[in-house]
Each structure stands twice: as structure tokens, then as C-alpha cells.
Structure 1
């Protein structure tokens, strides 16, 4: 039985993760990490059934001492996720992280720490299996279509732009694509930002609107043709099979893995 703690349990993704872990017969939810609601239970928050008596802590070290989780699922925010992940590894807890916003320097530091601790750590910009396949297909297509733009679309409460999935897609394409600037060499933005973020000559466009969940399309242009690879998550349940998979898989790892595509 894998003992699991969840950071960000009151969020929409966190609530889904709570139900997923509790219903999984290979896992046991032992605690929640929150920035408030110390000395209460998940049931006390009013967001869960009355029998969800899992304790809530505001301090990860205290949580670890009291409940000794094997895995910390972090679904919080970019402002705190690095601190949580680093502290979890230091305490010997294996992080499974769905929050994005890490810098390259932070990822490098966490990779070194995971190797020193011989503890697995999985950071997944997207837990949806379909989204992972979209990224893999996009990388393959980029071998033949070097002119590409990414349009990622999310709900209007998302804090980071571009999304972790959009950035990860661009990084995967970069591995097989010869760097070049796309568009007319004398192209000029009449309004700054009109062409989106420039990543290695590719452009990433971020859309934020109410009603959206998580959507992305990768457009490849060629002579007389357009190839579009698209994935849509219509609800947060689409991410939960990936979360459960990562909780089991992180127990077998001894280093940091960035991106679920490295496991599928």
C-alpha cells in the first residue's frame, strides 16, 4: 500500500486527486498539505464527504513526522511548488508534481537532489495520456514539417503562460528541428506580443478563457498543406489515470523524470 499525501487538495485538480487516491486499492491517503486549515480534516473544509477524515497540515515536516507518506502529489501553484518539491525530496518523500512553472535551474537542482537521495520524482506538465501522445506525435511530425506554431488554451484562472504542456511540446520539437526563425524576415508586430512567445524560432500562443479546461493544437505548415495535431481535456477526470500511474511508477524510480512521455 502506497501512503500518499496531497498538496492543494482544495483545488479543482486536488479534489479529483483526493477521490482518485481514496478509491484506489493500492493507495492510502494519509494527509493533506495546505497553507491554512491546520488541525482540521478534509471533511472540515466542506468540500468532501464527512467520512474523509484525513488530517490537514500546513507544515510538510510536521506532516511527514506524523504520517510518513511515501509520495506527495503536488497540485498547488508555481509560487510554492519548487519549495514543496525540494523539501519533500530532502525528507525522503517522492514527489509527483502536476504544477508547472519550474525554471531550468530549479529542474537541474531538483534532479541532482533526487539522485543524491535516490528517490524518484516525477514532474508532469500534463497527466492526460492523450496529451502525451499529442506531444509525441508532434515531435515525430516536426522531422518532416519544420514550420510549426503551438496554440495552447486553458481556463482563465491558470497562472503561468505558456502552459507547461505548450513549453514541453516546444522543447520536444526542438530536439529534432533545426532552429530557424519562421515567417517573413521583415515581419513586424504592430502590437507587441501579437506573434506570441518566440521559442527557438517557433511561436507559442496562449489563450485564457472561462469555459476552457486544457486544450492544445500544434499546427505544421508545408507547401500546399496543413497538419494539425490537437488534444482536448473536457474535465479534470482526464488527468487522473496519469496521476495514479505516476504514484505507482515514482516508487520504482531513483531520479527526476520531467514529462510523462518519458514513461509511456
Structure 2
């Protein structure tokens, strides 16, 4: 049987988190994917079947807090010996550990699919160099929503016509990093034009520090909102004389990300380098 015909073995890190649970359910429902590892920092859950923990039938995969041990054992069971082979790691954990997780996966020949945001530009560049040297396909995806990709592409077109723009992202109050990786990625796409935004018309000052948002070198300002009841939302507002133009994307449920997650799982093993952003996968 060829590698293409075998289910893709997948490890999920952050297995009991909001996104991790959705990912496991999506993998379980996908005929071409096979959950082989579930990593969670809660040691009290060590050794319990992940399926039973998230409301499914037993999946035969026990939770572990040892990510590196899981990467090591699964990479030995399923070798990365050419295009479209090897294990995939899907990571939805925490900004404080995502760099180490990604680097460890590459070192073991496991293909990382990173949904955790918070990686710095320097870290992404370092991981890209490491993935290139190891020839391990890696995907760093700040947002797995196809709708968000469409918003970003529309914003890039609009930015050619508007010199004033501000970005606002709104998330649930359990999100650790701000601004979101998606918002940063959107700003980077606008900045590819090489222009400067938001020329000052007055000597601006803040009576409350930070109320004007974070200022990037391009002049773009990014604003973050954190409230219970929100999932993930983003606005890009452009302004010009006599008009404004607003693009907005709302994620109502985390299931919206699953088609993008599964698509990336299916494509990352065909890569030999790091890609940044879902638009590079579509």
C-alpha cells in the first residue's frame, strides 16, 4: 500500500483545550486521518483515553504530558522517509511553549501544523531556516478560516487605494497573546505594499496610555479587545475624505477552522520548507 493510501498519523498538542477538542473530533471523523497521540499538560489526566475525556467513545489514545517522548516514539513508528510521509503534529497550546514545540517536532522529522499564535518574526525566521535544513514541511497558520483569508486579500486590495487604516481584533478573554497572530498577519499583508499609513495631522497624545492601540513602523495601529462571549473577530477599517470602508470577519464557532486544519494536515507532508499563512496552502 502506498503512503498516499494510508491514513495520516496525527498528534494533537493541547488536546483538552477548546481548539484541541475540535481538532480531535475532526480527525476522528476524517477517513484519511488517524489520531496517534494526544498531549495535554494536565498530569492528572495522564493515561486516560482522550476520547472519553472529550465526550467521544474510547479512541485507544491515552493522554500524555510528555510531548517530546510522544514525538520520539511516533517518529520511530512512522518514518519521515520522503514526500507525503511521516507524522503530523497539530499544536494549539500556548505562546510560551509553541516555539520549543515546533523546533522539537522538526528535529524528530514530525511535520508541525501550528495554530498557536505568539511566535515572533525572529522565531518564525529561525524555524524556517531549521525546517529548510531538515527538509521538514512546516505550516504556521495564524488563522485557519477561509473567510479570514478572503478578508486579508480584500484588505490588501483596499490598501492600495486608502492611506488611512486601523485594525481591531476581538477575542474571548482566555486568549493569552495580544494582538492576535491573525491581526499581525493581516497588517503584514497590508505592509507588503511598502507604503506608510496614517500620516499624523495633529500632535497626538494619549491621556490614557495605549488607548490608540499598538503602533507599527508602517503607521498601522492594532487594537485588541478581550471579552467573554466572543470567539474570534476582526475588523479592518479604512478611511478617506467623506467615506469609510470596513471589512469584518466573525467566527461564530470553532468548527469553522476545521476545514482549514484538515486541509493543512493533508498538504504539510508534501512540503519541504515552512509556510506562513493559510493563503500559502490554499
Inter-partner Cα distance in structure 2 for 1:123 and 1:21: 19
Equivalent of residue 33 in structure 1, options 33, 39, 50: 39
Inter-partner Cα distance in structure 2 for 1:222 and 1:13: 38
1:127 aligns with 2:144: yes
Where does residue 49 of structure 1 map in the other structure? Answer: 56
Q: 2:72·2:108 contact (CA, 8 Å) conserved in 1?
A: no
Inter-partner Cα distance in structure 2 for 1:230 and 1:170: 14
1:84 aligns with 2:91: no
SS in 2 for 1:179: coil
Where does residue 17 of structure 1 map in the other structure? Answer: 23
SS in 1 for 2:175: coil
Where does residue 67 of structure 2 map in the other structure? Answer: 60
RMSD: 1.4
Inter-partner Cα distance in structure 1 for 2:114 and 2:23: 12
Mapping for residues 197-208 of structure 1, pairs under 5 Å: 197-199=214-216, 200-208=218-226
Mapping for residues 85-124 of structure 1, pairs under 5 Å: 85-124=102-141
Inter-partner Cα distance in structure 1 for 2:233 and 2:72: 39
Q: 2:163·2:198 contact (CA, 8 Å) conserved in 1?
A: no
Gaps of 5+ in 2: 1-6, 79-86
Q: Normalising by structure 2, report the TM-score.
A: 0.89
1:158 aligns with 2:143: no
Measured after TM superposition, the shift of residue 180 of structure 1 is 4.2
Q: 2:238·2:245 contact (CA, 8 Å) conserved in 1?
A: yes
1:168 aligns with 2:192: no
Mapping for residues 231-242 of structure 1, pairs under 5 Å: 231-242=249-260
Q: Normalising by structure 1, report the TM-score.
A: 0.95
Measured after TM superposition, the shift of residue 177 of structure 1 is 4.5
SS in 1 for 2:237: strand
Inter-partner Cα distance in structure 2 for 1:62 and 1:122: 22
Measured after TM superposition, the shift of residue 181 of structure 1 is 4.3
Inter-partner Cα distance in structure 2 for 1:64 and 1:160: 26
Inter-partner Cα distance in structure 2 for 1:13 and 1:152: 18
Inter-partner Cα distance in structure 1 for 2:267 and 2:94: 23
Inter-partner Cα distance in structure 1 for 2:74 and 2:124: 27
Aligned residues: 263
SS in 2 for 1:207: strand
Inter-partner Cα distance in structure 2 for 1:127 and 1:9: 17
Change (3 A) 1:78 1:5: same
Q: 1:110·1:256 contact (CA, 8 Å) conserved in 2?
A: yes
Q: 1:60·1:88 contact (CA, 8 Å) conserved in 2?
A: no
Q: 2:145·2:256 contact (CA, 8 Å) conserved in 1?
A: yes
Gaps of 5+ in 1: none
SS in 2 for 1:108: helix
Inter-partner Cα distance in structure 2 for 1:223 and 1:152: 25
Inter-partner Cα distance in structure 2 for 1:227 and 1:262: 26
